[in-house]
Amino acid sequence: MRLEGTNTLPAPVETVWRTINDPDALRGCTPGLTDLSPTGPGTYAAMLTIGIAAVKGTYKGTLTITDKREPTHYKIILEGSGGSGFMRGEGTIDLEADGDATRVKWTGDMQIGGLIAGVGQRMLGGVGKMLIGQFFKCLEQRLGPGA
Amino acid sequence: MKPAAFDYEAPETVEEAVALLGAHGDRAKVLAGGQSLVPLMNMRLARPEVVVDINRIRSLDYLTADAGVLAFGALCRQRAAERSAAVARLCPLLGDALALVGHAQIRNRGTVVGSLAHADPAAELCAVLAALGGTVTAVGPGGARSIPAEDLFVSYLTTSLDPRELVTEARFPALPRGAGWAWKEISRRHGDFALAGVGVVLAVRGGTVAHARIALIGVGPTAVRASRAERSLVGAAPSDGLWEDAADAVRSEVEPDADIHASAEYRRHVAGVLTRRALVEAATRARDAA
């Protein structure tokens, strides 16, 4: 499943870069991320509870940030498994100045398997997009006026 | 295929059910027909701690037709609605859509209200409620409230209902007098969730379209009204070109997602094709009441 998009955040590139490298901001803004603790340089142990309505799964895994080109690019790798399936995802983030704001271009490629994929196939792409949308809305609020 | 352990409650009145939901909140799920909930529980994708079975609340098993509105109690089975003479007379769009909900065995147990509360993006009944501007009645700790379709469906399997609320009734307005209707959908196999589907209501007065409703399933996170396409129809004279333009408007306003069954482009294209076919059929059924 491939997803991509562009979002504009109301802050300069350097500020956005600091925010998307800040474990607190990531923890606060990633929907369902209940734990993110550093285990090494750029690697974290993550606990994620994702779901819609009554269908919720908890996944335990690792999150790695690599290929950093400060302050405009990194790659993020997420691997996890839980009772209802497993997932592996890779994404890139590119920042570009747009006046006083920053354009964030993102791509993601997710593999989801197990029960949840068999049953939830129809909705996985849409739910993924919705969660990424929530992530950027949260960053926007964090970086917006009065932040 | 056995569910995770859960506590089972079987209230006999709406008040008891609402008290149970109030006490357990989002740890509880309501069981009516169970045609969506039970498979999810058996696969352990859903693990409610408490199941509140409302099947003993006899007062919720009804279907009435009053003042141009069909009211379905929360225990009215889809099959009962499908076979009802009142539904055929007042709201044939609903009858046609019901015939495509799963299979007959599913409709024997599944309820009209349960399908709406589950809010699957491919559920026919959600689109019919949206097309007709229907409402549901929800009873919670703060009393009863009526929720219009456009405020009910939020996203995939997500409604604006509070977990402490019980939907007791769904209300579908009758079609306008003389209006034509059509339901069209396409699925890989009979009984599967539709890849895309559309319900249309069309009324013609004095040679022009007086009323148009178009609602689609399978092309976004919820059932959606195609309001731009609807506006393009009202006031215009029926013609093949008009239907084609409305189909194009639908293609431009839906935002389908891709999945293993069909690409977004395919769904967008099919949504237009089905809309045009539905409009042609609805127009032939519409009696000009001028």
Instruction: Given CATH 3.40.50.720, say whether it is the number of domain B7-53.
Output: no
pLDDT classification of A147: cutoffs 50, 70, 90: low
**A111 and B CB contact within 8 Å:** no
* b/e map B253-271, b = 16+ CB within 10 Å: bbebbbbeebeeeebbbbb
What integer best gives the mean pLDDT of chain A?
89
Going through chain B in order, the beta strands assigned E by DSSP cover 7-9, 28-31, 50-53, 63-66, 69-73, 135-140, 143-148, 153-155, 158-159, 166-173, 180-186, 196-205, 208-217, 224-225
**Nearest of B106, B74, B262 to residue B185 by alpha carbon:** B262
pLDDT (average), residues B209-217? 98
pLDDT tens per residue, range B178-192: 999 999 999 999 889
Q: Are A23 and A36 in contact (CB under 8 A)?
A: yes
Cα angle: B154, vertex B160, B164; to 5 degrees: 145
Task: Find chain B residues with C-beta within 8 A of A126's C-beta.
Answer: 121, 156, 220-221, 257
The pTM is what?
A: 0.89
> How far does the CA of residue A3 sit from the closest CA of chain B (Å)?
10
C-beta atoms of A115 and B44 within 8 A: yes
What is the maximal distance between C-alpha atoms in chain B? 62
Q: Specify the pLDDT at position A146.
A: 58
**B162 and A CB contact within 8 Å:** no
Q: Which domains does chain A have, with CATH numbers?
A: 2-143 (3.30.530.20)
pLDDT tens per residue, range B130-152: 999 999 999 999 999 999 999 99
C-beta atoms of B48 and A124 within 8 A: no
Q: Is the ipTM of this complex over 0.90?
A: no
pLDDT tens per residue, range A27-60: 999 988 989 999 998 899 999 888 787 787 888 9
Of B40, B44, B259, the CB nearest to A122: B259
The DSSP-derived string for B143-162 is EEEEEEHHHHEEETTEES--
- Assigned fold of B180-285: Enolase-like; domain 1 (3.30.390)
**Nearest of B174, B129, B125, B170 to residue B150 by alpha carbon:** B129
Q: Which CATH class is domain B62-173?
A: alpha beta
Could you tell me what percent of chain B has a pLDDT over 90?
Answer: 93
pLDDT classification of A129: cutoffs 50, 70, 90: confident
**A127 and B CB contact within 8 Å:** yes
Residue ranges of the domains in chain B? 7-53, 62-173, 180-285
pLDDT tens per residue, range B48-105: 999 999 999 999 999 999 989 999 999 999 999 999 999 999 999 999 999 999 999 9
**pLDDT reading at B288 higher than 70:** no
Helix or strand run (H / E) with residue B27: none
**pLDDT reading at B194 higher than 70:** yes
